Structure 1
């Protein structure tokens, strides 16, 4: 009985504190390259600056929009400040890998974007971030 009470208390405490994915903040936004909507298939990583945090990822749709994913099945991102980085590769849906490489819109962006495009501070609830990439 004591074990059941301890497990129940721990579960309720985690739910109240929001430390599980169900209470995660969300992050959506739009990516542009030289002022135009980015094509589908551009990927980003959101890396927490605090020790022990977990990364979230996003990929643009055909209008340059994205939603941060904490895992394959869970949208969201941890609270706190994150480094936003481009991820190597260009993975548009329904395109042969040779064509994707040839048409890759990221070939001309600065290499520094793979280290850090910007930083974003995530607050509880709904967050937005528009990312403007320059190829010049």
Structure 2
């Protein structure tokens, strides 16, 4: 009986270590993680640029991401689950993801200077169909997305 207790204890520790490693390596969601930075013409993209990662293989579910003020993103599988399915993914922008800032209004109630431009206005239209195809592996993945204006 003593040997069986030691084996069960050792197996329990091994199983705990494997589960902990899986949770740490996959962001705790059971899925690989994907983070990176989006740049436009070499500068960090503004907050709010939305990206879709669609699996190439049939039957997969897309993940989405949105940039912060430094252009950084983290893929979200669902509203409350971070991560992305492993495999090849088509990457594209989601239209309407960045709101054009309001113009500055002067004391007379009229806009001052030219109206602000949408930071995505000069990007190739193909970016809304596909920017590139990336490979996502198990564990932590990092992929920067460099966008270039036309």
Q: Give TM-score scaled by structure 2 length.
A: 0.70
Question: Deviation digits for residues 84-127 of structure 1, max 9, x if unmatched?
Answer: 000001345xxxx6739953211110000011111111000000
Match of 1:127 in 2: 141
SS of match in other structure, 1:127: strand
Long gaps (5+) in structure 1: 1-15
- Is 1:85 matched up with 2:99? no
Name the CA shift for 1:91/1:110 in 2 (closer, same or farther; >3 Å): closer
Question: Deviation digits for residues 15-69 of structure 1, max 9, x if unmatched?
Answer: x8x9xx8310000000000000101010000000000000000000000000000
> Matched residues in 1 for 2:118 and 2:65: separation?
17
> Matched residues in 2 for 1:99 and 1:84: separation?
29
- Is 1:115 matched up with 2:122? no
Question: What pairs up with 1:94-113 in 2 under 5 angstroms?
Answer: 99=102, 102-113=116-127
Q: Conserved in 2, the CA contact under 8 Å of 1:30 and 1:65?
A: yes
SS of match in other structure, 2:88: strand
Matched length:
114
SS of match in other structure, 1:22: coil
Structure 1 or 2: more strand by fraction: 1
Match of 1:29 in 2: 36
Q: Give TM-score scaled by structure 1 length.
A: 0.77
Long gaps (5+) in structure 2: 1-18, 104-114
**RMSD between aligned residues:** 2.3
Moved over 2 A (4+): 97-103
